[in-house]
Amino acid sequence: MGINETGVSRRSFITGAAAAGVLATLGLAGCTPQDKQTASAATSGSDTKWDEECDVLVVGSGYTGLAAALEAKNAGADVKVIEKTARVGGNSALAAGDFAVCNSSVQKREGVQDSVEQYVDDMMVAGLHLNDKEKCRVIAEKSNETWEWTIEMGATWAKNDNDEYFLYPYGGHTVMRSIAQGDGGGANVTGPFAEKLKGLGVEVETKRMLTELVKDANGRVIGAIVHDKPSGNDVESGTPVAIKANKAVVLTTGGFGRDLAFRQAQDPRLDDSVDCTNQEGATAESLRASVAAGAMAVHTDWIQLLPFMSPDEQGYGVAAFYTDGQASYAPTLDVATGKRIVNELTDRKRYADAILKTGQPCVQITCKKALYDGGSGLEGALKAGITTEFSSIEEAAEHYGMPVDAVKEEIARYNTFVANKLDEDFKKPIPDDAQTIDEPPFYGVRLWPKVHHCMGGVKTDLECRVVDMDLQVIPGLYAAGEAVGGIHGACRLGSCATADCLVNGRIAGQNAAKEQGA
């Protein structure tokens, strides 16, 4: 379950007392993977010879960056989008991509009663009330108009046999509100968005990594130093290019889940024995550059683990496309005891913590007739070898080294909960269409959490403007999506990242385009 090396070194030491003090709050004073100039301060505009110029520089090409770029371009700004990896889309292109939408037409068709208040409350409960409540409210209020906007921009979403959009069950949500994404996941959004931008004359420039922000004498961010064609995540490789941003720089660089040294500085438990779902570019250099430019960083030690991942494949893999949907319908069992350990529809933190507490991978068991959505994702999971088919419960228990009698008793007990639509042990809501697990073929898959989402990042106001240590706006600098901290508190609800990234990406792009510049 080890994580691949990120290519980030520890060879440089921080200089500059002010930056060292700030970076010490991130657990990084004295040992970080960036060059000395970046660590100590943002580059001065008066010392910079510009190589390229634009109005709005968007850093990152996932949901957030593409949404920001579309809005800024549609507002008349000259937009440049850079992406550090060779592939457009970031983590978003790999994600399942479902979208938590409040008061959607899909909910109304299905008779689901929802409200902004309930959406916000669900986020706050999962986040242990550490969330920025007003930002949660913005996401809830703007989620539906943003989902409809994605369709206008060419994004596609899954449809059922009746050619209708449909809702997908997610843990931690008190009502069904997550609009399902189809085969291809988040790429069904990032691909069309990138094509839309291309049609507007903006092509994402890949293999360009942000290393420094440039400020003028008044403290305004007026551009950035990026490294063209870097070697992996090495901030000292590649050719430096100075890009002037006449209006603003928008940071949409995601989290730092693949930055082993950085994430372990935040949470020492997350060493190389803990795998990660993120793409290789999810590292912390843009966060370091932001802090060096004076930005406040918050909640960097709250790092979410995705509970329903398989230890039998690397990275995100294909497990979640099967196991996530089955959580409403199937039990998760402790290998040592054969007993259930959790409400499988709780939030991700509680689910992951319950699995980790057992000290070894747990097992999700179900059967063909009990599968959600006819077994969406099952074929891929079987083909990948992470899910196994069995002719009996006994065979499944023996395969995973579980006490056979205990497993049989637990499945029988779970079946009574399904029949009565009442979970007496963990209070999991039992779906109306749930079926008992009692006919072959049976299916089993091991579950073990992986690093997935960083709740921490730079602090912003409601307009997506980055603020400094005095809570004052840093002119010319915006951020949105996973690059921002404080929105989700201790734990992000599934499908709320899509909402956060798209809603706030749009806000950042709209506001960046309105800037008057220096």
DSSP assignment of 387-413 equals EEEESSHHHHHHHTT--HHHHHHHHHH
The dihedral formed by the CA atoms of 289, 290, 293 and 295, expressed in degrees to the nearest 10: -150
Q: Which one of the listed residues 348, 446, 465, 492 is annotated catalytic? A: 348
* Total number of residues shown for the chain: 518
The two three-digit tokens of residue 248, written as one number: 């603003």
* Whole-angstrom distance, CA of residue 456 vs CA of residue 474: 19
Q: What is the 3-class SS of 131-192, one letter each residue?
A: CCHHHHHHHHHHHHHHHHHHHHCCCCCCECCCCCECEECCCCCCCCCEECCCCCCCHHHHHH
Contacts of 260 (CB under 8 A, 6+ apart): 3, 5, 6, 8, 271, 272
* Whole-angstrom distance, CA of residue 344 vs CA of residue 120: 21
Count Cβ atoms below 10 Å from residue 468 Cβ, excluding itself: 18
* Whole-angstrom distance, CA of residue 497 vs CA of residue 95: 10
Sign of the Cα pseudo-torsion (161, 167, 171, 175, in order): negative
Closest CA to 105 of 181, 154, 165, 49: 165
Closest CA to 106 of 172, 171, 181: 181
* Whole-angstrom distance, CA of residue 75 vs CA of residue 227: 28
Question: Is 348 designated active site?
Answer: yes
* Whole-angstrom distance, CA of residue 261 vs CA of residue 280: 14
Say if residues 34 and 212 touch (Cβ distance below 8 Å): no
Q: Which amino acid is at 212?
A: E
Q: Angle, to 10 degrees, between the axis of helix 116-126 and the axis of helix 133-152?
A: 120
* Whole-angstrom distance, CA of residue 479 vs CA of residue 471: 15
Spatial strand order in the sheet of 167-168: 99-100, 178-179, 167-168
Residues identified as active-site: 348
